[in-house]
Chain A
């Protein structure tokens, strides 16, 4: 007996079937093409941005994310539901394609059939299960959305249409299979290769052949109509994401992670800087909104949202999209709200988790740029004061620039002006240089280097703020003037290697300064010290310590440095009790995005929330790797009233204590 089945059984394979069927296919595809061409005009309102370079890598990146559902499945339960549903549906799509291929091409033109024998058995059983899994996963997603809806999951008409249509398509698919099998396969060995269809066939066999044939034919056409409806609905509903989210993987930012677009401030013809309208953002910023599925994973992880501030990264992205499609002249800053835009700490939690490769942070910074550069506006007078202080003294703390190197007076290190022959340049940063608490980090780092026999030099009073807080706050002009002076100075000394103890300096020198041709290699102290220890140059006493560790956003998510700091803590004899939110899911300390300069006036204090997470681990020490974090935690333990339970400490201090 041949294991196969008759394609177009009962509906016929003549012109009366094929002509209307293919007409429907053409109509559905035409609708999709036409509507996306219209949408493309909307995307094109944005500024140009090249996102088709390195096409090979882009395509493989897209395939990995679409086919393996890599980003989607990072959030376990709903991710797995979606993944399994996708894989099921994708197999059904392949199955249908094979049928079309055989019936309307290879068989029709060459009389060649491949859906037979063992291949047919596999084909049949795989599709049968794919249909079942899709249906069950759809049910699970339905129950999640309509009965156990997680907080913040927006549910609209789109979702109902999508659930309804998908369920009907899958159910009618089984009815078609069941009725066909009831008539043609019951009692044959072929039937066992479609277990679900078999079960259905057995239970409806009583209807009799005539009824089954009528039911089959009607359902077949109904199923076809719904599938074509589904295709035609793609541009009009959230089904859109099938194409747009996939395309967004193709157009994704390929890094360096979090590097911002440099504005050309020399361009005399520019009259506006930053963005207030859709046309001042890039086309990708508009496209992002189309790729968003409102999964709210960004919102769930946003430290501002979690502490009752008005910022939802998801909402910002969609407001930009809505403006692009409905009112492109709209002032985005008024539309989104200033408090919303100022609330962002640029912690990148949104962007890191986004299953659609949306870029949230650069949009917010672009809008901030407009507020600062075009209006001279800041979240508060304290921020303006810090900006002016930086203009005058090169640091946001407003301390006289000439005392920048004073902290190092007793350590026996020289400035490059005094002695440019060095192993490494230590770029200290403002907090390490001026802030009483953070000077301890700078001193510890220098002592560690000296213990390892490394000759360290500093820039002393010649060093200026790296400009990171100013840039993230939108002050591109001040950032560029600071950066240019620093780059010129460092390049002038012919520095080969720079090490930083501040992740904000690190990220800025390592990525942003490349636009200004910084020549030296840049490394974070955690990686650098880890190398010194593992190569045996630096010897650290191992001394037990029960601690928890906070991944700073700029060492963690922005630079993927998660293991070196942990290795250092372990080398120092520390045992880490991880907080609930750690590594790429780490929770911001509140000081990023230039917020170190601003008062936190809305909602709960982010640093207190984070300190309480640390307290919950039961560890007595909160180890961090960033002067901004340390500042926030010193403040946070006081604010939370847990000074006696939790001591904030930097990794460098921990190590220096064990020399």
Chain B
């Protein structure tokens, strides 16, 4: 009996001990795993890329500008002091107004009231600021109604004036505020890039990866298709396609069709790049291993190949954004893309293409500056991303 009890205690002790040891071991193992995960995390490709990207000053500035542009576009209706429909015909062809920030030593942003008239000889509109009559700029001022994000009805604008006009970038012939129009234009110009790139990404990624992975006749067909598409000069092709658009379509539909048309040509570059990448990857050991383990093609493509080319896809899409924006602008500039009442930078530029603007109203060409700015920003950012995408090379 005694010996029986003792034996039992011994066994229990032993089990306890073993258990403690095991849990200690487990804990240390878990610790180890956590540790290694931490290390792996710290040096993951994304982190490395981010680290490298951050070091590239110009790329960061580009990125910030891009972000800023999109933010302004997102809140455009709120930031713009006027809506697209507001015509202040009393102030047609008003040059950009000067804003004064201090009045009597106090911070009090204001513009001067304008005396309007016509030059007796040239009959040109004249606007003489009257320094004695200050019009204060108010913030969160009530203005024309609009719908924020196209949904929420609102009346408050970021800034505005209660009388007269505030026009930072001047007005056009119908007295429409260029500042507001440029902001509204950015909504279309910038999203057309985004949507267009997304679409071409979809086509390009699927066809490019398939072409590289399967090889053989699939590769042949896709590559010949790319060659055919690429052998067309893009502008005439776009012209033909946009000219075929039925005129009674709603502006929104036209907008989407044009995006589709733009991406129909934009995908080829992406597909080529991805094919090359996949061609190299599919010979790698891990793909071979997956295949030997009996993984299906779908599994390999979606679990291994696409994630492996992800950094490339991002870089390529960033770099093709400017060409999309440019394509929209040039098509609209030629009068083939978007048309009023849709307002994009290209549409604004199209309206500025006459001698009067060149000689008398140069501020109407400001949208061009914004096209250039956005393209530069995207290019800088894209370059930075490209350098960062391959973090292991120096």
Physical interaction between A and B = no
Binding site for B on A (CB under 8 A): none
Binding site for A on B (CB under 8 A): none
